[in-house]
Amino acid sequence: MALLQISEPGQSPDPHQRRIAVGIDLGTTHSLVAAVRNGVAECLADDEGRVLLPSVVRYLENNGRQIGHAAQAAQAQDPANTIASVKRFMGRGLADIADRDKLPYDFIGATEGALSSTGMLSLRTRAGEKSPVEVSAEILATLRYRAEDTFGDDLYGAVITVPAYFDDAQRQATKDAAQLAGIQVLRLINEPTAAAIAYGLDNASEGVYAVYDLGGGTFDISILRLTRGVFEVIATGGDSALGGDDYDRALADWMLQSRGLQASTPADKAAIQIAARAAKEALSATENIASEVHLTVATARFDVQRSDFEGATADLTARTLSAVRKALRDAKLGKDEIKGVVMVGGSTRMPQVLRAVAQFFGTEPLTNLNPDEVVALGAAIQANQLAGNDPGGDLLLLDVIPLSLGIETMGGLVERIVPRNETIPSAKAQDFTTYKDGQTALALHVVQGERDLVADCRSLARFELRGIPPMAAGAARIRVTFTVDADGLLSVSAKEQGSGVEARIDVKPSYGLSDAQIAQMLQDSFSTAEQDMKARAWTEAKVDAQRMLMATQSALDADGQLLQAQERTQIEALMAALRETAASSQEAVAIEAATDALAKGTENFAAQRMNNGIRKALAGKNVETI
């Protein structure tokens, strides 16, 4: 007799069957992998019991490489071939790396080398040209092997964390690196959200929380509202080029200046950077530290006080608090409305950072979890749920996009379709129409930014919708749909509703926004709001005027014989006046007035055309049979 295997609804028929899913924190200075084991999230260690994997890759002769601790140990001896902090280069072009003269790498721009088509910078090593995606894939693959060795089974998938302020290009580069490492990405989630999960805020009392995340290379601030197990990110901000590396560099510059020295060679730059990092870490526990650095010209000894370090880096700490203020303004909240502050990232161990955050919010931040591990732990909890290992989990994440997305319309204007801080995943649609009679194709230009003019925003992608049936201007109905998935990645489709012709594109920009561009976009959207409104009104008035002129001329060509000579002369005079006003006036009101005058001047003509059309339609018909 055949037996049926009975299982509870929502549970696996085999109670021991489990998919191996992990959370990965791909960090600037360190990376790590975590998983839920026996119902508890924990970080996975290597063969020597070390949880943290330095995010460093060294390329050797004959395609050899060292990853992690061995590579980090050789950083001073072989700086040009030992790539550290590669996360800062993900999705970036050469012009985006402002401090590249202080780095020991041989950068290659997008116009050089085999990788020129990607638009992303690359680095020249003895093993050849390497993109940041390839270097990151080496780190991710090492973490994947660690997880598979731990469980003795293949990895099903991973949740990978990214800074909340990573733009579309940086997120796509992270997914590409995971694919290159043979990892299925279950989801990209923002690092602050992962930290909130790890802290168990879903089990905490409802309210608004701030997550202050200062890592090795990036800073994020997220304002989250917790309601019945739902994490809703209501505002986010930060700087994807501000982190512990910058504190190291500022201290290194201070050390050299205090002795009147310079780091002129790649080896000197690496040596002073390593010494500065060691001093920074020591000064978190002590008031002063003595450091000795072997430079090309001499061996230098430095005595560094904690006050010296804090003075050299005060502006960096101030920059993080400036981003916090902006995020609170976006959330329309005061700092006294924040219920708790979660500290994330190894750089938050610095006493001046803890002190500044406590003074700003007026409350001691939460620091009871290891700041290096908290993001990976949260990602592991989310991965376990997405893999189906926790069917009873009721955690819901609602992240947001950092910058508005829209499309170019006539006159170089931006029609914003997905606004900044919109919850994702999200799908929004808007209807557009054609500009000219008989138009059979439409060029669509997707842009990102907060300004009203395309010239002031960043271009993401272009594509065309072809095969539109010829119709009168304005008759076609084209629905443009923007879809932002749970990873924050964008796809755009356009469909002509009558004929059903459709085109779509997955937006994969060649490289990301610079940090200055991100900050400038947000600042400009406020400081130039009045100017943008005037420019938009003027452009819209000109577009309306051109459409009115084209429609009137088309009507004259078709039915001009219906008019008396004097009537036609009056209409042509109004058309000439509108053309002159549109060409010379800088005021939208004047153009609108001339357009209205032409519209009123052609009302009688429009009525005659309608009557004539009705007469033609009824010619030869019996009224009783209609």
453-472 pLDDT, tens digit per residue, is: 877 777 777 777 888 888 87
Q: Which of 9, 2, 24, 13 is nearest to 379 (CA)?
A: 24
Mean pLDDT, residues 162-191 = 84
Distances (CA, A) of 576 to 359, 586, 605: 66, 17, 17
The pLDDT, as a whole number, for residue 316 is: 94
C-beta separation of 381 from 41 below 8 A? yes
pLDDT band of 405, cuts 50, 70, 90: confident
- Strands 56-59, 82-84: pairing is antiparallel
Answer whether residue 13 shows pLDDT above 50. no
CB atoms within 10 A of CB 222: 31
Answer whether residue 590 shows pLDDT above 60. yes
Lowest mean pLDDT among 188-192, 314-318, 502-506: 502-506
Answer whether residue 476 shows pLDDT above 50. yes
| 93 residue type, one letter | G
Helix (H) or strand (E) holding 447: strand 441-448
Which residues are CB-contacts of 512 (< 8 A; sequence separation ≥ 6)? 90, 91, 92, 96, 166, 167, 168, 169, 170, 173, 240
Q: What is the DSSP letter of 588?
A: H
Q: Which of 25, 46, 96, 245 is catalytic?
A: 25
Answer whether residue 518 shows pLDDT above 60. no
The span from the CA of 524 to the CA of 518, in Å, is 10
Answer whether residue 529 shows pLDDT above 60. no
Q: ∠ at Cα 569 (567, 574), nearest 5°?
A: 100
pLDDT band of 448, cuts 50, 70, 90: confident
The pLDDT, as a whole number, for residue 351 is: 92
Residue 518: HSE in the Cβ half-sphere, 13 Å Cα cutoff: 22
In 3-state terms, the chain is what percent helix, strand and coil (to 5)? 40, 25, 35
pTM reported for the whole predicted model: 0.61
The span from the CA of 90 to the CA of 92, in Å, is 5
Mean pLDDT, residues 150-160 = 91
C-beta separation of 571 from 601 below 8 A? yes
* H-state helical runs in 81-231: 132-151, 168-180, 191-198
Mean pLDDT, residues 12-26 = 72
The verdict on whether 87 is a catalytic residue reads: yes
pLDDT digits (tens, 9 = 90+) for 220-243: 888 888 776 667 778 888 887 788
Tokens 């209807």 found at? 431
CB atoms within 10 A of CB 523: 12
| 3-state secondary structure labels for all residues of 416-458 | EEECCCCEECEEEEEEECCCCCCCCEEEEEEEECCCCEHHHCE
Which residues are CB-contacts of 263 (< 8 A; sequence separation ≥ 6)? 252, 256, 269, 271, 272, 295
Tokens 């926004």 found at? 513
User: Could you tell me the two tokens for 202?
Assistant: 């879903």
pLDDT digits (tens, 9 = 90+) for 83-136: 988 888 888 777 777 677 778 888 887 654 433 334 678 888 988 888 888 899
pLDDT digits (tens, 9 = 90+) for 369-398: 788 898 999 999 989 888 877 655 555 555
Q: Which of 46, 168, 176, 213 is catalytic?
A: 213
pLDDT band of 513, cuts 50, 70, 90: very low
pLDDT band of 12, cuts 50, 70, 90: very low
With the CA atoms of 220, 223, 226 and 229 taken in that order, what torsion angle do they form, in degrees rounded to the nearest 10? -30
The pLDDT, as a whole number, for residue 510 is: 41
Phi, psi of 264 (to 5 degrees): -95, -20
Tokens 């905490």 found at? 204
Calculate helix-pair angle for 351-361, 314-331, nearest 10 degrees. Answer: 30
Domains defined along the chain, listed by start: 21-243+315-399 (3.30.420.40), 244-314 (3.90.640.10), 401-527 (2.60.34.10), 530-618 (1.20.1270.10)
Answer whether residue 315 shows pLDDT above 90. yes
Q: Which of 74, 70, 73, 68 is nearest to 56 (CA)?
A: 68
pLDDT band of 621, cuts 50, 70, 90: low
The span from the CA of 253 to the CA of 509, in Å, is 35
Residue 507, helix vs strand vs coil: coil
pLDDT band of 322, cuts 50, 70, 90: very high
Give the dihedral sign, CA 446/448/452/453.
Answer: negative
CB atoms within 10 A of CB 432: 18
The pLDDT, as a whole number, for residue 604 is: 85
Calculate helix-pair angle for 588-601, 565-584, nearest 10 degrees. Answer: 170
CB atoms within 10 A of CB 600: 10
The pLDDT, as a whole number, for residue 320 is: 93
The pLDDT, as a whole number, for residue 2 is: 44
Q: What are 446's strand-pairing partners?
A: 407, 461
CB atoms within 10 A of CB 531: 13
The pLDDT, as a whole number, for residue 392 is: 54
Mean pLDDT, residues 599-613 = 83
The pLDDT, as a whole number, for residue 11 is: 43
Summary mean pLDDT of the chain: 80
Q: Which residue has the higher pLDDT, 264 or 41?
A: 41
Q: What is the DSSP letter of 339?
A: -
Residue 583, helix vs strand vs coil: helix
pLDDT band of 317, cuts 50, 70, 90: very high
The span from the CA of 199 to the CA of 358, in Å, is 18
**Range 77-103 burial, b when 16+ CB lie within 10 A, else e:** ebbbbbbbbbbbbbbbbbebbeeeeeb
Q: Which residue has the higher pLDDT, 562 or 507?
A: 562
The share of the chain scoring above pLDDT 70, in percent, equals: 84
Mean pLDDT, residues 509-521 = 47
Answer whether residue 7 shows pLDDT above 60. no
Answer whether residue 32 shows pLDDT above 50. yes
Answer whether residue 353 shows pLDDT above 90. yes
Q: What is the DSSP letter of 14?
A: S
Q: Which residue has the higher pLDDT, 324 or 529?
A: 324
Phi, psi of 274 (to 5 degrees): -65, -40
Q: Which residue has the higher pLDDT, 205 or 148?
A: 148
Mean pLDDT, residues 39-67 = 89
Q: Which of 46, 78, 87, 373 is catalytic?
A: 87
The verdict on whether 25 is a catalytic residue reads: yes
Q: Which of 138, 191, 373, 456 is catalytic?
A: 191
Residue 307 φ/ψ region, left for φ over 0, alpha for ψ in the -120 to 50 degree band, beta for the rest? alpha
Mean pLDDT, residues 322-348 = 89
